[in-house]
Amino acid sequence: MVCAGFTCSKHSLCALNILYVMVSLLMIGIAAWGKWFGLVSSFQVVGGVIGVGVFLFFVALVGLIGAMKHHQVLLFFYMIILFMVFIVQFSVSSACLAINKDQQERLLEVGWNNSYTTQRDVEKSLNCCGFYHVDNNGTCNAACFPNRSCSPCAEQIQEHAGEVLRFVGGIGLFFSFTEILGVWLTYRYRNQKDPRANPSAFL
């Protein structure tokens, strides 16, 4: 019975960390693909996504190695890091779902004014110019600009941002619960005996 419980915990923890490895590689790949094909020109955005992907990859690797070897120290640090990630991710996801339209509008305007590269990306992808007003004497990457037929970006951005925030919040909440599941599995696994080891030794 102990062997079955030990094996079940080990396989569950390994499967969870393999999932995290795949998600991290997907994040890195999508960010690199977006930059390579010119979909995103902001190094901060690409660097941020790749950084999160690399961090998740190494955390998952620590958890995977710890689970495979039943390594107490690696499992302990993995459990602590995963719990901290859970707190941050749960808080951010809840904020994404709870943010109202006025707060969203203020945040979008601040982000728009602080990054010229983001402005260019948005104007090109949404085919709009300016945030609240179109400046026909300025510059704009939208296809509609030479014809002077562009509309401001604020309304389109708010519509897309609302959908993105709900999607990100939902996905974040889902993964935050898998993280607390990982913390519980790790705690349980650390306190189980390895049936292949010396029966008198508690690992």
Sequence spans of domains, the chain: 1-191
pLDDT at residue 165, rounded to an integer: 78
pLDDT at residue 56, rounded to an integer: 87
Residues 20, 183 contacting (CB under 8 angstroms): no
Backbone angles phi, psi at 6, to 5 degrees: -65, -50
Q: Sign of the CA dihedral 59, 86, 110, 139?
A: positive
From residue 200, alpha-carbon distances to 168, 184, 193, 203 in Å are: 48, 25, 9, 10
Q: Sign of the CA dihedral 44, 24, 40, 155?
A: negative
pLDDT at residue 202, rounded to an integer: 44
Q: Kindly report the pTM of this predicted structure.
A: 0.69
pLDDT at residue 194, rounded to an integer: 64
pLDDT at residue 195, rounded to an integer: 62
**pLDDT by residue, tens only, the chain of 203 residues:** 444 567 888 888 899 999 989 988 887 887 777 666 554 545 666 677 778 888 889 999 998 998 888 888 899 999 999 999 889 888 888 887 887 878 878 878 887 788 777 788 888 888 888 888 888 777 887 888 888 888 888 888 887 777 777 887 888 888 888 889 889 988 888 887 766 654 554 44
From residue 151, alpha-carbon distances to 111, 145, 181 in Å are: 19, 9, 47
